[in-house]
Amino acid sequence: MRTKLSLLKPLCAAAMLCAAAAAQADITVYTSEAAFLAAVTAPGVDTYDDLTTTLYADTLHRSAGGYTYDAYSLNGLYGAGGTGGDHWLSNDMRTDPIVFSHFSGGVRAFGGNFFPSDVFGQFAPGDVTLTADDGGTLVYNLSNATPTGFLGFISTSALVQVTLGTDGVHFWPTANNVVLAAPVPEPASYAMLLAGLGFVGVVSRRRC
């Protein structure tokens, strides 16, 4: 019985350390693609160049490198752009957002080019709004968004979904070059992990 109790205490301590880390979950916003890529590891990109200028179902199962995810919009998704072979992901109803979700592999980093398009699926100057959800939510309004502008989120916990919308009056939400990744562990995370392992080791030795 004593042996079982001695094993439970370090496990509880480790669980408490993990809970403390989870309680401090936060989302960081990046408007620089270079800074975003420097803060992540093993990024995968979905260019949407396999799409054509046509209406698709409300859900598309997509991949970005080694990750998979779903893109969803209530009244159907739409292949926009197409100039020079560069296709984009938009939708059929401007009042509907595009929801990116069901990320594989505990994705905690999401970024890309997000901007409005017109009824013909071509770029139109305007604003878009992205909402990142990792259990809490962060809303970011991207003013005067362009096809080459970048926006990214990195969370300290797994992302549940990211929602892309416009004012729902003049423009359609549009995405290109979506990046999924895991963040590079911070030194503080390594230190906390080592401290936790060290604590578990000390408690285990004293109870032997």
pLDDT value, residue 192: 44
pLDDT tens digits, 9-48: 444 444 444 444 444 569 999 999 999 999 999 999 999 9
pLDDT value, residue 203: 42
Is pLDDT at 190 greater than 80 in this prediction?
A: no
> What is the DSSP-derived secondary structure letter of residue 185?
P
Distance (Å, rounded) from C-alpha 130 to C-alpha 107?
17
Helix ranges (DSSP H) in 42-182: none
Q: Output the CATH code of domain 24-187.
A: 2.60.120
Task: Tell me the sheet residues that pair with 79.
Answer: 89
Distance (Å, rounded) from C-alpha 78 to C-alpha 96?
12
Percent of the chain with pLDDT over 70: 77
Q: Given pLDDT bands bounded at 50, 70 and 90, which one contains residue 185?
A: confident
pTM: predicted TM-score of the whole model, two decimal places: 0.80
Helix ranges (DSSP H) in the chain: 2-23, 33-38, 187-206
- Range with the poorest average pLDDT among 87-91, 92-96, 194-198: 194-198
Annotated domain spans of the chain: 24-187
